[in-house]
Chains A and B, each alone.
Chain A
Amino acid sequence: MGKIEWAMWANEQALASGLIYLTGGIVGVAGQFMGWQFAAFGIAAGVFVCLLEYPRSKRSKGTSVERTGQYCFTVCVKAFGPLTRNYYVRAFLHAALCVPGGFMLATVLGCVCLGIASLIYLSAAIHGEHWEPILPKKEPAKRIGESIKQPPQNPPPRPPPELRRKRAEDLESAAYVNPIAVTANEY
């Protein structure tokens, strides 16, 4: 288990808030509530928050679980670089987005939820966390075997073992001289 990553909970909370904000907005606009313009803003903010929060961040330790089909969202969110990486930015963004929701009843729940999400993000940022994309692991490129560049120094036919063994005391005479000059393959 280990250290708590607050951003993980903040992400769940923010995604839920986005949905609640959106729902409240739809109810407000569809019912033509008093001040339905705020509800219209709620729809936009809800959709935006959902899109932003859908791709889950990579965990600092252990396996990260992706949301279904989050890959394309991950790529988009990653494109904004430090803006989406930094959790202080998210905390202030959510805090700003939630304010208009407080002006009408239908979006009040979304507003408070997003506010709480913003607070959790703030705590995550203070703990030094940041958003990391979950990308499919790249297969490490197979290194080309050294032997291709450096062919065996002692190619067959090899001399009998007693000649091959190097004597520590007399390296010069122990060295076996190749009958053919050896070079790297050059194509």
Chain B
Amino acid sequence: MGNWIINHGLTAFILFLWMGINIFLFVYFYFFYDLPDRFFYTRHLLSSALAWARAPAAVLNFNCMLILLPVCRNLLSLIRGSFMCCGRTMRKQLDKNLSFHKLVAYMIGLMTAVHTVAHLLNVEWYNNSIRGEYDRLSTALSMLEDDPDDNTTYLNPIRSNSTTPTYFVFTTIAGLTGVVITLALILIITSSMEVIRRSYFEVFWYTHHLFVIFFAGLVFHGAGRIVRSQTASSLEEHNITLCKDQPENWGKIPECPIPQFAGGFPQTWMWVIGPMVIYLFERLLRFIRYMQKVTYRKIVMHPSKVLELQLVKAGFKMEVGQYVFLNCPSISQLEWHPFTMTSAPEEDFFSVHIRSAGDWTDKLIEMVQNLPEGGQGPKMGVDGPFGTASEDVFDYEVSMLVGAGIGVTPFASILKSIWYKFKDSNPKLRTRKIYFYWLCRETHAFEWFADLLQVQEKEMEERGMGDFLTYKLYLTGWDQSHAAHAMVHFDKDTDIITGLKQKTHYGRPNWDKEFEQVRKENPSSVVGTFLCGPAALAKVLEKKCVKYSDVDPRRTKFYFNKENF
């Protein structure tokens, strides 16, 4: 339980706070419309659908204000920078920005549904009252018109008894903007489903820009002031309890003057204007970043279609485990794609490894391959760096790094950085030994990483520190032909798949054996275990860390860290 509070306490607190505000707004505005006398006549026409429409509206205002903030990545970077003193847990919350964005979006979807259904009922009931299908009072209220001579103001926004609800909705500001922004929202939601987002990013990306229409419509949605209530001065003169039963006498007896109504002040724009301005600045900043000059230091084409770009940009400072967004205007002016950086902060450039995975990456690789000898690459815009640095690795004497599949990418930067710090005997580095485990289903996609390991292996051997880094590769997806191939080449010095000194293992690692070995080799060390991979593996490693840690302070201890990159 203590562990849980340390790891998830703040997240849970933020969620409780958010949910609490949502519930408060809903309940507060429900009773705001359901209890007071000034809505008595409005409620007589609409009954509780009035409150059921207005309460979700308030929650929608709040969530529409929030939804833009988590996607302002430069704003988050700024906040992260100013929280430097407040520790990691605070900063790590900011890395969950997209989960929060989704959560807020779900709430918007739900509240939109309630709001829309309630308004469907409202429009229908307004229309029925003006047609005189309800009691005398409803008809009388609906017949009130804006007439300065008679000193009347209207309550029912439907002014004609020969119209249809559909016609009414498409001819009023609130109705028309409501339909348009609901449609925009539906399209945004359907194109953001996991299947689409993961497989056809362009569809998701371009459809999401309907948010411009959504916010434009949202700002004007309340401008028609359709929800009307009895004015305060009218309430004083016009006693509801007395007058509600004799609408035919309104304006005829002094106790019951004709009630006066006024529309509510539109509030939505006040909620969303701030985040809209912030988001505008965010896009402006992205544009400035995009205009800044980025030069190519080196372009390397690795086997299995992996492109390495080494870039230089003035004033760019990175940390291990961070990522950047790249924009290549000759492919697409609008698309920004994230890439984990694979260079170390100690290097005077930053590099990304781009694997052929889709239209964008394919086009980039093709363009680079067709470059003339020594030519500069296509113009590239760089936004970033983003993400929390994963510097904990350097705090442990011994580090066990476990990468699974694509999760190996951030370790490129970490390994490089450790290597540089070790070379310069940087006092910040306490690491003496690194165990690196790499589990993957198929190696061919990650050959470039083996490349990098190979270079490090060679350099370390030259310096006579071969035992600083121990790495083990596990191929989890293999068949008989792999095994036969390995058996044939058993005597070779280097591995047949990766070309590394270490032979690839087939199948999953036996963690008991690995932990036992680490404990034996480092009998009195504090070992940090770092995982970048699936949750199932995290559970296994967490248990092993506990199992192999010794209470005796002089013996080996394992600490588990899960990095989310």
Chain A residues close to B by CB (< 8 Å): 1-6, 8-9, 12-13, 16, 20, 23-24, 27-28, 31, 33-34, 56, 59, 62, 65, 103-106, 108-109, 112-113, 116
Contact = CB atoms under 8 A, between A and B. Distances in A.
A12 B359 contact: no
B117 A23 contact: yes
Interface in B166-224: 166, 169, 179, 182-183, 186-187, 189-191, 193-196, 199-203
* Most chain A beta carbons < 10 A, residue from B124, B127, B183, B194: B124
* Contact-size category for B: 20 to 34
Contacts of A113: 183, 186
A9 B200 contact: yes
Contacts of A4: 200, 202-203
A142 to B, nearest CB: 14
Given A24-B120, A31-B124, A16 B186 contact: yes
* Most chain A beta carbons < 10 A, residue from B186, B187, B202, B358: B186
Given A1-B359, A34-B165, A105-B169, A56 B195 contact: yes
Nearest to B165: A105
A127 to B, nearest CB: 12
B357 A109 contact: no
Contacts of B179: 108-109, 112
Chain B facing A: main interface SS: helix
A13 B77 CA distance: 35
B117 to A, nearest CB: 5
A6 B196 CA distance: 9
16 contacts: A1-B201, A3-B359, A4-B202, A12-B190, A24-B120, A27-B117, A27-B120, A27-B121, A28-B120, A56-B195, A62-B199, A104-B166, A106-B120, A108-B179, A109-B179, A116-B183
Contact of A20 (B121, B186, B193): B186
Interface string B151-169: 0000000000000111001
B58 interface: no
A20 B112 CA distance: 12
Interface of B: 113, 116-117, 120-121, 123-124, 127-128, 164-166, 169, 179, 182-183, 186-187, 189-191, 193-196, 199-203, 357-360
* Most chain B beta carbons < 10 A, residue from A4, A59, A104: A4
A72 to B, nearest CB: 20
Contacts of B357: 1
A1 B124 contact: no
Contacts of B186: 13, 16, 20, 109, 113
Contact of A2 (B117, B121, B124, B359): B359
A153 to B, nearest CB: 24
A108 B164 CA distance: 13
A59 B198 CA distance: 13
Contact of B166 (A3, A31, A56, A105): A105
Contact of B196 (A12, A62, A105): A12
Contacts of A116: 183, 187
